[in-house]
Chains A and B, each alone.
Chain A
Amino acid sequence: MEKSRKAIVLQSSPYLVWSILFIIVPLFMVLYYGLTDEEGNFTLANIAAIAQPEQARAFGLALLLSLAATAICFFLAYPLAMILARRRTGERGLVTTLFLLPMWMNFLLRTFAWMTILEDGGVLNGILSSLGLPAVHIINTSGAIIIGMVYNFLPFMILPLYNSLASIDGNVINAARDLGATAVQTFFSVVLPLTVPGILSGITMVFIPALTTFAISTLLGGSKILLIGNIIEQEFTLTYDWNLGSGLSLVLMVFVIINIVVSGLTEKREEVHR
């Protein structure tokens, strides 16, 4: 659209100012606090603190649990997204809504409900014992935290996978079959590669919040299991060491940056190929 420069400047300035003030400047503040000590002198100690046993443990555990949760989400969501994408368009909307609806109940409450379900005398063990099965102890274990993560972030995996699967022209799959590929070959050589963007965004949308959560581990881990999110939260709300908290946050941002680079690379690769 041909528009005067003045109009463009006028229309873009609100968000320009907003994003600088509320996105860019705050990030630089995290950077500043993360790289200084209480007196304001430059230091790398806050970042190096990730290697101290308490933090390293919490960080390692967070990595482990969030990777597990992401993998479980992926393997649960992919078949589901395929089933959904195969449905006729009329039904699709309804069924997809059904999987997104739970998000409208507050996420803390839903997680809290899992406490009631997973407790030793909770709903799950009630069901198990009525079936004559032995009780399981899940609450306040890493397993409970993984369940909480999977539960809360599963829709974020389903949605992008579903979108990328639904956007594949059915004839592309027919074409692969037509050219002699079996159903399995078709899946691995055509369907899976075509959904790579969806897979990447699904993984991002599950992995990052799972890695940094503190609410889920507080509720389902019984304050016994600390993740890196809990440590950072405590630095800001309990011990008031903003420098350390910011330093640890910078470590988390590394994962965000890795993520951007990876998705940027896949995009590049496709462009170079062209």
Chain B
Amino acid sequence: MKKELIRLDHVSKSYDGQMILDDLSLVIHENEFVTLLGPSGCGKTTTLRIIGGFEKPDTGKVIFDGEDITDLAPNKRQLNTVFQKYALFTHMDVGENIAFGLKIKNKPQSYIDDKIRYALKLVNLEGFEHRMPESLSGGQQQRIAIARAIVNEPKVLLLDEPLGALDLKMRQDMQYELIRLKNELGITFIYVTHDQEEALTMSDHIIVMNQGYIQQEGSPEDIYNEPENAFVADFIGDSNLMKATFVRDGLVRILDTDFPCVDKGFGDMKPVDVVIRPEDVELVSRGQGQMPGVVSHVIFKGVHYELEVQAGGFEWLVHTTKFFEVGTEVDIRVDPFNIQVMNRPASEDEEAISPEDEPPVLQE
């Protein structure tokens, strides 16, 4: 078991009577790449700012390395932050930006110069010392922001949607870059993003948040394969999310068709949500599967085809490597262990887990 580094204890925070974080508790271990993932307004950035010291929680405690740092000013904390939109000092050149923290700590000039060179090398921007931030591209500015933070040798690096402002290609490059950095530095990264792909690619540990609550936490595989509720299922990856009835242990009724499953203990004839990943839906010849359907749409995606199949009054999303023509009559088959059954929350909480701007597609 890894050593515990940061702990949030029953932290709550509200602005203008609006609850942003509600009794949140979480633990972050040493040398982990932890991602706080969720839609905008879910409280992930506030959580990060509380750890960084830019916000004080209304109630609850922040424990760092066994010490209560709830009331400690940000400049006294052993962690550094890489901000959204970089927040570089535009009146200083790159070298001065990187040296800022070290100068504050009165490090000798030779030490500072070495550190600048080392940090620029680390982020692949050697020789940029005398450039002004505004003359750099977004990706370059982001690297400088990272360099500026890591020269201070923090125990934890906080990253607040650092790649949000970059274009797709740059974003992918930077993802690998960050993983490499984390491995070279051997420190803890706490990463905030709303991009589930980013989270799945980089993280050791993902914390999915919504409406100020933690919805689920675990490894990327856990989160992807076994979402605990409809929100997580919908937020992580493409999926077929449906209302269903749990007939009894090992059998669930989806769209009036009974499917065998491996889940147990939801009770007999109880309403549940089920999620089936598109790559887990098999298309077989008519009569060979569990439910009849018709291919209504086909798009070639390179590695696979993305299909829409009308079956049981639902539009199934299917990924397959085989080509089907539109109008082909097929049957759908799903292996029992590929059906993820989840508790359907009572109507009150339903509100709490479905973000207004992107409601999960729940169809009968």
Contact = CB atoms under 8 A, between A and B. Distances in A.
Direct contact of A and B (CB under 8 A): yes
Interface of A: 169, 171-172, 174-182, 185, 189-190, 193-194, 196, 270, 273-274
A175 B79 CA distance: 11
Given A171-B87, A181-B104, A270 B74 contact: no
A185 B134 CA distance: 23
A252 to B, nearest CB: 32
Interface in B43-99: 52-54, 73-75, 77, 79-81, 83-85, 87-91, 93
B104 A179 contact: yes
Contacts of B84: 171
23 contacts: A171-B83, A171-B84, A171-B87, A172-B87, A172-B88, A174-B81, A174-B87, A175-B83, A175-B87, A175-B88, A175-B148, A177-B73, A177-B74, A178-B79, A179-B148, A180-B104, A181-B104, A182-B75, A185-B104, A190-B89, A190-B91, A194-B89, A270-B91
B132 A273 contact: yes
A72 B93 CA distance: 33
A180 B77 CA distance: 8
B290 interface: no
A253 to B, nearest CB: 31
A236 B148 CA distance: 61
B3 interface: no
Q: Tell me if A's interface is mostly helix, strand, loop or mixed.
A: helix
B75 A172 contact: no
B135 interface: yes
B85 A171 contact: yes
A16 to B, nearest CB: 33
A194 B101 contact: no
B134 A178 contact: no
B152 interface: yes
Contacts of B75: 177-182
Interface in B83-131: 83-85, 87-91, 93, 100-101, 104-105, 130-131
A37 B81 CA distance: 68
Given A174-B83, A180-B105, A274 B148 contact: no
Nearest to B101: A179
Nearest to B133: A274
Given A178-B54, A194-B90, A274-B131, 19 more contacts: A169-B87, A172-B87, A174-B54, A174-B87, A176-B100, A177-B73, A177-B75, A178-B53, A178-B74, A178-B79, A180-B75, A180-B105, A189-B100, A193-B91, A194-B91, A273-B93, A273-B130, A274-B132, A274-B134
A172 B88 CA distance: 6
Interface string B298-329: 00000000000000000000000000000000
Contacts of B135: 274
A183 to B, nearest CB: 8
Given A169-B87, A194-B90, A178 B80 contact: yes
Nearest to A194: B91
A179 B100 contact: yes
Contacts of A182: 73, 75
A255 to B, nearest CB: 26
Contacts of A169: 85, 87
A272 to B, nearest CB: 9
A179 B52 CA distance: 11
Contacts of A181: 75, 100-101, 104
A189 B148 CA distance: 16
A274 B75 CA distance: 29
- Which of A177, A179, A182 counts the most chain B CB atoms within 10 A? A179
Contacts of A178: 52-54, 74-75, 77, 79-81, 149
Interface in B13-38: none
A267 B132 CA distance: 13
A194 B84 CA distance: 19
Contacts of B79: 178
B102 to A, nearest CB: 9
